[in-house]
DNA sequence: CCCTGATTCGC
DNA sequence: GCGAATCAGG
């Protein structure tokens, strides 16, 4: 989609309103990035926003910007930003009806937690080698309340919307992706835990042996 | 770290 | 013209 007059108009309006570029970007949606917005703004010439541009005065220091940024050949298009959560387990979820109901008696947890099984040969890409690390640190939350029917408990934190999700946050899906209340875990990703926090990576990457603790919903 | 806008440059 | 990559700050 290109910049239609209306969109440009909206852009201007919002920009002059003081909204940040990223805000505008996902307000206009369409997978626009803040760079796109900023770029457009720049081109439109209204970059200097709240600049009290005194017409009569020229400080002669308008925009020398003698910058010479390193321009590595790696440029152009890349998969980044807007894609956001392309590889989250929700991709094929929806009706996968995962049994992983961490019933921590929390708020919304409609149902259907997909289970990203990713324990190929030994482990994922570069995550926890072996499976020893799993027991090492992730479970610090389950001590207080022992869940009756599951020993994997997730942290009791506020799940986040896709907009609030950051690169550093756990992408474990919570709820039904088709519903408005769909969220992501949002806890801090722990290193080597893939896109998840420690707890969820422990669920996601269960060693084969222990995996039966989460018995499939209906195996015939 | 997170974010912000500004600039350059390949497409 | 567009927007990703990058720079430069807060």
- The distance (Å) linking the CA of A166 with the C1' of B2 is 10
- The distance (Å) linking the CA of A75 with the C1' of B10 is 7
For A99-146, write each residue's pLDDT tens digit: 333 333 333 333 334 444 433 333 334 333 334 344 434 444 443 334
**Could you tell me the residue range of the domain that residue A163 belongs to?**
154-215
In a domain? residue A138 = no
Burial status of residue A129 (CB atoms within 10 A of its CB: 0-12, 13-18, 19 or more): exposed
pTM of structure: 0.48
Higher pLDDT, A1 or A159: A159
What is the per-residue pLDDT for A146?
42
Number of domains in chain A: 2
**Residues packed against strand C, CB within 7 Å:** A 1-3, 32-33, 35-36, 38-40, 43, 67, 69-72, 74-78, 80-82
In a domain? residue A76 = no
- The distance (Å) linking the CA of A12 with the C1' of C10 is 24
Decide if A184 contacts A90 (C-beta within 8 A). Answer: no
In a domain? residue A183 = yes
Instruction: Give me the mean pLDDT over the A153-162 stretch.
Output: 77
Burial status of residue A206 (CB atoms within 10 A of its CB: 0-12, 13-18, 19 or more): buried
For A78, the token pair is 């890349």
**What's the pLDDT band for A71 if we cut at 50, 70, 90?**
very low
The residue from A32, A48, A64 where one domain ends is A48
In a domain? residue A14 = yes
In a domain? residue A171 = yes
For A188, the token pair is 């801090």
**What's the pLDDT band for A26 if we cut at 50, 70, 90?**
confident
Burial status of residue A77 (CB atoms within 10 A of its CB: 0-12, 13-18, 19 or more): exposed
In a domain? residue A158 = yes
The residue from A48, A64, A80 where one domain ends is A48
**Residues packed against strand B, CB within 7 Å:** A 19-23, 34-35, 38-39, 41-42, 47-49, 63, 65, 67-69, 71, 75-77, 166-168
């Amino acid at each position: 989609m290109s910049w239609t007059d209306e969109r440009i108009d909206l852009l201007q309006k919002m920009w002059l309103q003081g909204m940040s570029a990223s805000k505008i970007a996902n307000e206009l949606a369409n997978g626009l990035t803040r760079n796109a917005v900023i770029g457009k703004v720049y081109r439109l010439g209204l970059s200097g926003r709240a600049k009290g541009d005194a017409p009569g005065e020229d400080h002669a220091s308008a925009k020398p910007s003698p910058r010479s940024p390193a321009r590595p050949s790696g440029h152009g298009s890349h998969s980044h930003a807007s894609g956001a959560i392309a590889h989250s387990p929700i991709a094929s979820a929806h009706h996968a009806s995962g049994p992983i109901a961490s019933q921590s008696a929390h708020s919304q947890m409609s149902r259907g937690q997909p289970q990203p099984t990713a324990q190929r040969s030994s482990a994922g890409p570069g995550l926890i080698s072996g499976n020893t690390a799993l027991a090492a640190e992730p479970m610090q939350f389950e001590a207080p309340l022992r869940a009756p029917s599951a020993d994997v408990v997730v942290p009791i934190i506020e799940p986040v919307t896709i907009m609030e999700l950051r690169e550093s946050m756990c992408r474990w899906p919570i709820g039904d992706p088709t519903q408005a209340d769909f969220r992501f875990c949002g806890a801090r990703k722990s290193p080597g835990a893939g896109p998840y926090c420690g707890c969820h990576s422990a669920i996601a990457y269960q060693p084969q042996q222990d995996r039966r603790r989460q018995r499939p919903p209906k195996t015939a």
